[in-house]
Structures are given as C-alpha cells and as structure tokens.
Structure 1
Amino acid sequence: MRFDDRVAIVTGAARGIGRSYALLLASRGARVVVADHGGGPTGDGSSPEPAMEVVREIAEAGGEAVGCGASVSDESSAAQIIDTAIEAFGRLDIVVNNAGIHDPHVFPDLTIAQFQRMLEVHYLGTLFVIRSAWPYFIRDRYGRVVNTVSEAMLGGVPELTSYGAAKGAVFGLTRNLATEGHPHGIRVNAIAPRAYTRLSAEHTEKMAAERSVPKEMMAKFSASMTPDLVAPAAAFLAHESCPLNGEILQAGLGGVARIAVLCSQGISKRVLTVEDIADNLDAIMDMTGAEIRSAAEQSA
C-alpha cells in the first residue's frame, strides 16, 4: 500500500507519534509537510528546528518533505500549513491531525484558561487545519483526514478532564465531517493512540507510582508502547483504498481495535413516566442486540 503522487500533511510531526506517521508515509512514497510548532508538552515555546530535523531524516532516506513551524491553534497560522503543501507540491490529498498538548490536573485545580487552551490546540487546531484543506478536497473530489482522539474522551482516567473533553469534541467533529464529506469523496476517521511519548510520560509514571507499579514492569510497559506501533493504523486510514468513514481505531502495542457508538434497544411507550424509566432500567441498559451508529451509513 503506497502513497506515490500523494501529498500528506502531518501536524505535530516533529516528535513521537507524529514523527512516526511522517516517516512511514514518506517511506511509502508520500510527499510530506512536517508541521510542528516546536513547543513543549504544555504548548509553551516554539522552534522550527524539530520539524526540520524530521525533514532531513526523510530526505536522507530518499523521501521528499518540507517543514512548517506554524501553530494549529491560530486560524491564519493553521492556514499557512495548507499553503505550504500547495506551494511546495501543488496539491493536497491527506491531512493527519496529530498536534496536541498535555496538562493533567484534578478538576478543581484546572483553570478555565487551561480548558480553553486544550480546546484551542486539540479541537480548534484540528478544525482550522481541516477547514483550510476542505476546499482543495472538494475541488479534487478526494481527501483523507485522520484525526486524533483518545480513550480519555470515554472517561476512566484521572486528571484528564480538560484533555478528554477536548478529544471528545474532536470525536464529534470527526463523525459529522464523515457524513458531510462522503458525497465528495472525502473520508474522515480518527486514531485513539496508545503510545508512550513525552506528552504522556509524566502522567503515566505518576499514575504508576500511585498504584505501586514496579519500575521493572513500568519499563517493560513503556518499551512496548512505541509510536511505530501506532503509525500503520494511521497510514491505513490515510490510504485511498481504505473503506472506512467516521470510524475510530484504537491502535498501539501491536493491536488495532474499533471504538464504536452503540445504542441499546431500550424501551418505548406512548406515554412515558419517570417510574417507567426506573422500573425498566435493566432493559434500558441492556446492550444485547445493540445497534452501532455509523456515520458512514447515515451519509449513504
């Protein structure tokens, strides 16, 4: 499965998972825009050098790439990323939205500004890049969008209220764009990655310490969660032959699984009372025969 003659943008491509995405796509023939603001895990600072390091790495391996240090969190800046692809390669086929930040805290300690910052980078950053790319996809009647969500959007992980909520917004954007893009030959899917990177390292190690996880076990765990084991799933979603639309793939540790939205059979009454819900709660919550809500089917 190659990407010859295809042009791909990967945001947050200078390190970790994004770097693995960029290297894999380039190794299979894609011309890549390595987009990265070069900031720290919480979004502080900026530098063009990390992106250029990946550009050089791709070139040394015989691939073709250009760098872009624009920030996704500003609309005009995000548009520069798309402009870079068009100016350098004359077209755009693939957008992989991977840029993100991480700033975990318990809910009472999180400021509104921290919630806003998460939304600016994860949700609005994804939106700004896609919005600038969309006219080219519509024109060419072709496009592949791979967004980044997280299992944190489903809850169950302490201190990730702001992060998980922002990723939940990306999930909603992904599903709805999948519906709208379908008639135009555009497919929009997402990855929920499982990888040990600089964004997740501090929080993961803190959680492990609180649960008294042995250091040896933690070292083995982190070594098995390499970004390279996430990249094949993203490349598959970016390929022209991928039949999926509006889907979420959990990827990492060598495994790939589907995260789906389910709706139970529930109950139905002509006149519904509060007591009806209380008395039939088991039936409402029973997932036997549950239906998968597919964005692709809704758009057919």
Structure 2
Amino acid sequence: MPDLSHRVGVVTGGGKGLGRAFALHLASLGAAIVVNNRNREVDSAGRVVAEIEAAGGRAVADYSDVADPHAGEDLVALALSAFGRLDFCVTSAAISGPAMFHKTSVDAFAAVQAVNVLGTVGVVAAAAKHMRAAGGGRIVLVASTAGLHGEPTVSAYAASKGAVIALGRTIACEGAPRGVYTNVLLPYATTQMTDAGMADRFRDSMTSESVAPVVAALVDPDGTLNGEVIVAANGSLRATSSVEWGTVRVPETVDAAGLAALLDTSRAGKPHEYRTAQDAFADFAEETLP
C-alpha cells in the first residue's frame, strides 16, 4: 500500500460519504489531511478531524464553501500554514439537485454547476498552481458515470460531472510536463445522495470505504498514472475511455435511415482512442483527406 508519510492533502466534501472515507483512509496511510466540508452542524469536517486525530493521525478542518471563488486559495493556504506543504488534492464536494430537465430552472441548474464544476475548478486551479511551482503533485477529481453516460432526472448533475471528466483529462495533459498528474474517479457508493435509489441487494456492499484504496493509489507519490478515468466500487474497478469508431464516407445527400446505416457501419469498424481533441482531429483529418 502507498506510504503517505510526510504527505499533505486536501479532501473537499470530506465531512460525509465518499469524502469522509477518503480522508480517513488517506490519514491512516500517514497523510496529513485538510478536511473540507461547508456544513458546520451536520456531517462536520471537525468530526472527521476528531476521528483522524483519535487514531493518531494529523488533520485540520476547513468550512469553506467550494463555490466561493476564494475557497481554493484558502484551502491551499491552510494546508501550507498547518502542515508546510501540499502534495495532493481530492475533490469530492458535490450536490445533485434532481429534477426532470423540462421541469428544472436555469437558476437551479446553475446552482449545481456552481458547486460541482466551478467549485472543482477553483480548488484544483489553486492546488495545481502550487504543485506546478513545487515540482509535482497528484489531483483526483471525483465525477460520476452520470457524466459518462447520462442519467434521467439529474440533468444538472450529469452535465456537471461530464464537465469534470473533460476538465480532468485536460489538466492531466497540461500538468504532466510539470509532474502534476490528474485522474478522474467515477465511484458507485451508498451515500446520502444515492441511498434512496440504491437497490437493497447492493446497499451494504457498495460502501465508500471500498473505493478509498483506489484514491490512495492515485495520490501515491511513486505513481505516474495520468489522464485515467476509472469506475470503482465494491473492491473492483473498470478502466473507461472515450472512443470514436470507424470512419465512413457520407454521400452528398442522406436521409435518416441512411444516416442510421452509416452509424452502424462506423460502429462495426475499428475503435480509436485519443489522449486529446487535437490528436482526434489530426487522425480524422488525415484519414479523410482525398
């Protein structure tokens, strides 16, 4: 298992569910943790800090709302003042806001993006800036398969998590030359957010704790994984990828049935995986040149 002694990390949304499990597990491996959770009364970051300290670990609580544009800078500053360094960042803070898309409002949709997307951006931008200057670091963005496949009744949440996946792959490309490695985790777990929709036969096995070892491996200072998007649950994982299938020429005119047939032909072709959009474009352009 990773040795995280003398390592310091920030975990957002660390007062409950996945974030709490991550904070406790990382601390058990020797890391000092800044536990962030905006709720001071319920699911308090302070309670998690007390658990870590009772087990002999080191931690400090932070109650910033990640949607605050200054939260990221404040979290980095707290890590540096409390422990003298910052080596990794795990963004677990999120809200759902379930509603059928045609019944939601722009304001409700924006509120989810403010926490899940901009809250991730602000924290990770501040952490990445520090890590680049320090010569390296590890970033884990917690997203969801809703952002990979879509999910009914949670359009705002799914859109936000799709944005987090794309963000993670992008900053992975940018950070690698400076030793800042970023990966995206898509966990399945029984939490306050998912409990109501979790089937009884899965509820007890889909624990937050069963996902935590994957997070620890992703922040391992000896690891160099970068740009991975990983589904994890119940002590298991799946690698995921964005795939473009075979290239098919489109005739000058095509109707709906013809387009459906072309797509079937494409799916029967060779799958293509790319690290960046530029790579995908270059390959497509070369293949379709006359």
Paired residues in the alignment total 275
Q: Is the 8 A contact 1:37 1:47 kept in 2?
A: no
Matched with 2:17 is 16
Alignment of 1:82-161 (within 5 A): 82-161=76-155
Distance in 2 between residues matched to 1:281 and 1:135, nearest whole Å: 42
Equivalent residue, structure 2, for 1:227: 208
- The equivalent position to 1:281 in structure 2, one of 236, 243, 263, is 263
Matched-pair contact (CA < 8 Å) for 2:144–2:161 = yes
Distance 1:126 1:224 in 2: 28
> Over aligned residue pairs, what C-alpha RMSD do you find?
2.1
Q: Measure the CA separation in 2 of the matches of 1:17 and 1:280.
A: 43
Identical aligned pairs, as a percentage? 33
Partner of 1:262: 243
- 1:66 maps to 60
- Provide runs of 4+ in structure 1 moved above 6 Å: none
Cα deviation, residue 268, structure 1: 4.6
CA distance in 2, matches of 1:275, 1:153: 31
Structure 2, unaligned stretches of length 5 or more?
A: 280-290
Residues 189-200 of structure 1: pairs in structure 2 closer than 5 A: 189-200=183-194
3-state SS of 1:178 partner: helix
Q: Which moved more, 1:273-282 or 1:107-116?
A: 273-282
Unmatched 5+ stretches in structure 1: 39-45, 206-217
Kept in 1: contact 2:16–2:43 (CA 8 A): no
CA distance in structure 2 between the partners assigned to 1:81 and 1:32 by the alignment: 11
Which of 118-127 and 46-55 deviates more? 46-55
Structure 1 Cα separation of the partners of residues 149 and 106 of structure 2: 19
TM-score by length of 2: 0.89
CA distance in 1, matches of 2:192, 2:42: 18
Distance 1:79 1:265, change over 3 A: same
Does the CA contact (< 8 Å) of 1:266 and 1:285 recur in 2?
Answer: no
